A = this chain, B = another copy of it.
């Protein structure tokens, strides 16, 4: 696949004396594992968004807090950029390395430090896998709610950095709603505790600020998350529709009826056919769209809710509503959904996954808009998404070997995100901005808002050493991109252009 990474970001960084840095690291950070040979660096050249690749200058694999602190102090002293990486499963290039920066891999911080069943919390190191927390909590009847599709591999530190979501975030919230406390190190190696073991904390809400900050504010060294009791019962309904707009309307109707499903997912015909061919989940391949609606809680409540949701779905024009007959069928229904991305990967040499979020009431209109744009750009788009919270994942199918298709795909993706912004939504739901959506940030925010983002960044990292080129675009970039709402005709604070 072609490589989309914009060399200007590395190009704008000052040169780094790699050998001198390597010597310093060896001297000043005892027993730190350092990768520096070309073949060792190669596996780290991208995260889950493989279209963007850069070879990092050095890869550092610390095991202790002291090592991380020493690395940060040294990099700060030498003004070397630092990109943090967890499991490398991110989908927006948030952990894309820099040729002139070190990649700080936190994967070896993989200890579960404490499960406290009375407080219903888990205290873990940032490299612990999302699913491992639920596994460790299972003997106490507890689990960690946010469940990104990559939960078997992704790390909790990365989940915090990207404010990850998942199928169940409609009912149980995003990562930010499930984290109680963070221990972090600033680029100067100072240690901060954000949040507390209690449910509230004084002062500015820096805990929330760190969630989704994509490694720009500090390095996460410990995470305390909330655990929830496992629901007594879970049932799933599968509804078929003869149009995607009707399915979108049904989503709004369910929420308006006052029901909060544990998950409410939508797949259009292209997506559900691909999943069915791959997984044989039992999906109705003639439907234009299906909804999967999961209800959880105590038995009696779930039974009631299933009846209410069925009534709403039928009222909204569902041609068929099926309840999974048993746990095996429930798991199969979900297996199809969870395998939708690789399933679509079988339809097309390449695909590009978007992550826009819109107000739920706009679902039918935006789905129609995407179909029109797809036809205009001559590309196929499959829709698979967390419909309940308006978090869309349009997948654009393309072939990077066909001249121009990659560029057309990028352009269509940009248009789709701009459509999300236009209806009052956001360019990201759960994948983050990273390197991928940096230009769309210019459409989402005006120059005053971007200036505040930069000023907040300066509060933590005045020299812009942490993950430069991700999440928050420079005003200069936005002016070039041409999408910025420039305030009073001029760029404020030109000195904030430095990162």
Interface residues of A (CB under 8 A from B): 116-120, 141, 163, 165, 174, 176-177, 186, 190-193, 196-206, 208-209, 211-213, 216-217, 229-230, 252, 255-258, 297-298, 300-301, 304-305, 357-361, 389-391, 420, 424-430, 433, 437, 440-441, 444-445, 448-449, 452-453, 455-460, 471-472, 487
Contacts and interface: CB of A to CB of B under 8 A. Distances in A.
Given A202-B428, A441-B203, A119 B360 contact: yes
B460 A191 contact: no
B256 A444 contact: no
Contact of A200 (B117, B301, B430, B471): B430
Nearest to A121: B359
B199 A391 contact: yes
Given A300-B304, A460-B452, A197 B359 contact: yes
A387 to B, nearest CB: 12
Contacts of A428: 200, 202
B300 A196 contact: no
Contacts of A457: 204
A220 to B, nearest CB: 15
B209 A204 contact: yes
B453 A204 contact: yes
Nearest to A228: B258
Contact of A358 (B191, B198, B257): B198
B426 A200 contact: yes
- Please name the 3 residue pairs, one residue from A and one from B, whose CB atoms are nearest each other, closest first: A229-B258, A208-B208, A455-B459
Count the copies.
2
A196 B361 contact: no
Given A300-B301, A300-B304, A448-B190, A256 B120 contact: yes
B455 A202 contact: no
Given A176-B208, A206-B209, A206-B456, 15 more contacts: A186-B448, A191-B448, A192-B449, A198-B420, A199-B389, A201-B426, A202-B427, A203-B433, A203-B472, A204-B457, A204-B471, A209-B456, A298-B301, A300-B300, A452-B459
A252 B420 CA distance: 44
B425 A197 contact: yes
A359 B430 contact: no
Contacts of A120: 255-256
A205 B361 CA distance: 24
18 contacts: A118-B360, A120-B255, A163-B200, A198-B429, A199-B357, A200-B357, A202-B441, A202-B444, A203-B449, A203-B453, A203-B471, A204-B212, A204-B453, A204-B456, A204-B472, A298-B301, A300-B301, A455-B460
Contacts of A191: 448
Contacts of A426: 196, 198, 200-202
Contacts of A116: 361
